[in-house]
Structure 1
Amino acid sequence: MILQKSIPHNPLETVKLPGIKPLDLKDWLVPDDAFAGQMSCRDALLTEQRAQVLQMDPGALAPAQELLQMVLDHRYPGQGDQVHRPDGVTVDIDWQDPLATLGLISQEDFCILERREGSDEHVLTGAVLCFPASWTLSEKFMRPLIAIHDTVDSYDGGMASRVQRLFDGVQVGRPLWRFNALWYQSSDLHAPRSVQDRRDTSHGKDAPFMRSEKQSILRLPVSRAVVFSIHTFMVHKDDVMAQWGETDAVV
């Protein structure tokens, strides 16, 4: 069981969707007390289940390499062809396999979305997604935003237009972020669900674990692709309540 003891944002705060806020770039990628445990899990998933957690269109190689350079500059400045993670593991930098490298050096998952010529929406052209929360990467790969969210009840036509405007408007050097939060019966970080599977209705305030994702949105300056990064927090209910108290959660 891999758990954090705290969450840096209040996951119980009532926020009007989509709940977007400006993000200081220094707060984009921040390791926490579950770093070693989460990275060990990521290592295993990328070794044993790579096809389930990594997908990339060949045309997304350049944006993925650009993102890798940005993450290296942000988290591992000056470390060269290898990086030394805070948990003591050394990782070789593979520029021909940038998403896998990202999955091995960062606690966050990363999705690359591009609005290619002739498309009205951004499309998911690459992702390393070790910790999916009730969705499956293979079912969303190379699909546009509205199709990615087709199982989200609140994602109607109006919300789709707002999110597409958000992705069109995010500016280089001015990242954004939001969070979601949901009580879970299981603490599993790797929790995919196919669109064909019945939705699990056992979650609720009586469940013992809070899963909250810090979701960041930024634009790459050269390729102009949009990066959607996800930092997953899994915290026991007792620790959530000790930190933030009794409030209504937002999903």
Structure 2
Amino acid sequence: MSLGFSVDELLPKARGGGQLKMGLAKLEESEWLQPKPDLVARAEGFAAYPEGVQIAPEGEAPGAELAAMLGLPGGLPEAARAHHEDMCLLTLREGDEQYRLVGAAVAWPSDWAPADKMGLPLRALHGPIQGYEEQLASGVDNFMAKLKPGAIYGRCNWFIAATGEKRWVAEPPAQAFADVTSDNAGETLFVRSERQTLRRLPKTGAILFTIGIYVSALSALSQANIQRLATAVSSLLTGEGDRRGAGAYADALIGYAKRQELERAG
């Protein structure tokens, strides 16, 4: 199943509220990375955020393996600069049960800083995600342990942001969404989707996690996706909506969706 490479294509495959789930789809090699990346935008992104590149000693060999696999000299930074996707490397230390982040080349993070996450195990990496420990942690650990070289899996998610910038640092929701109304939500709310993939590197055994960022104004989405988001924000997990700042924009988004539906019907 292909995930696509745009917010409109990704949203129907993303979780629409309710219990957390991995939601993985097996991908072919041709579906792994965006085929025509904007390398100027990538260069600008890394130049504006040089601290997005963080590599521990344990990440050097996997980074070199990844670059060689992609036909590039160098390591992890060169691999990420030559593709649309941000890239992270995780390895399993002897005696550990969880993979740890040992390398990151991230130009467009979704409200996180690689320097703060380096060396952390998976459960700590996902600590801020409401429900992760209870609903996902064991399944993710088992998946990572069993992932075979050559297999590629993908998934996607979504966030609502008050900016269309690819590098997103969330502001306090009451401030970020202060001017959003049901009348202007189409232009003031932006949907941010991460197209994530996982694969194991055959020589080092490290796991590569890629994050392709796609952003769209709410008004640019299909009517079906606008309605999908309106339903989803009403069914987020207890506590999850607070983390996402949904209380500050949900009414405006739902009102906008209802108005669009009425206009379409009329």
TM-score range, shorter chain: 0.7 to 0.9
Matched letter for residue 55 of structure 1 = Q
C-alpha RMSD of the superposition: 2.6
Matched, 1:19 2:23: yes
- The answer for the alignment partner of 1:85 in structure 2 is none
Task: Return closer, same or farther for 1:199/1:245 CA change in 2, 3 Å cut-off.
Answer: closer
Matched, 1:29 2:33: yes
Between structure 1 and structure 2, the one with the greater Rg is 2
2:93 aligned to 116, 120, 141, which one? 116
TM superposition shift of 1:226 = 0.5
Deviations 1:121-156 (A, max 9, x none): 000000101111011111111110011111111212
- The answer for the alignment partner of 2:207 in structure 1 is 226
Task: Return closer, same or farther for 1:71/1:154 CA change in 2, 3 Å cut-off.
Answer: farther
- The answer for the alignment partner of 2:119 in structure 1 is 142
Q: Distance in 1 between matches of 2:6 and 2:62?
A: 34
Q: Distance in 1 between matches of 2:134 and 2:60?
A: 31
- The answer for the alignment partner of 1:216 in structure 2 is 197
Query: Map of 1:1-251 to 2, 5 A cutoff?
Result: 7-11=8-12, 14=15, 17-31=21-35, 35-36=37-38, 39-50=39-50, 52-72=51-71, 94-95=73-74, 98-192=75-169, 200=173, 202=176, 206=185, 208-242=189-223, 244=225, 246-247=227-228, 248-249=231-232
Q: Distance in 1 between matches of 2:137 and 2:77?
A: 30
Task: Return closer, same or farther for 1:159/1:13 CA change in 2, 3 Å cut-off.
Answer: closer
Q: Distance in 1 between matches of 2:109 and 2:150?
A: 27
Task: Return closer, same or farther for 1:124/1:192 CA change in 2, 3 Å cut-off.
Answer: farther
Q: Distance in 1 between matches of 2:62 and 2:14?
A: 34
Unaligned runs of 5+ in 1: 73-92
Q: TM-score, normalised by structure 2?
A: 0.72
Unaligned runs of 5+ in 2: 237-266
Task: Return closer, same or farther for 1:218/1:122 CA change in 2, 3 Å cut-off.
Answer: same
Task: Return closer, same or farther for 1:44/1:30 CA change in 2, 3 Å cut-off.
Answer: closer
TM superposition shift of 1:112 = 0.3
Q: TM-score, normalised by structure 1?
A: 0.76
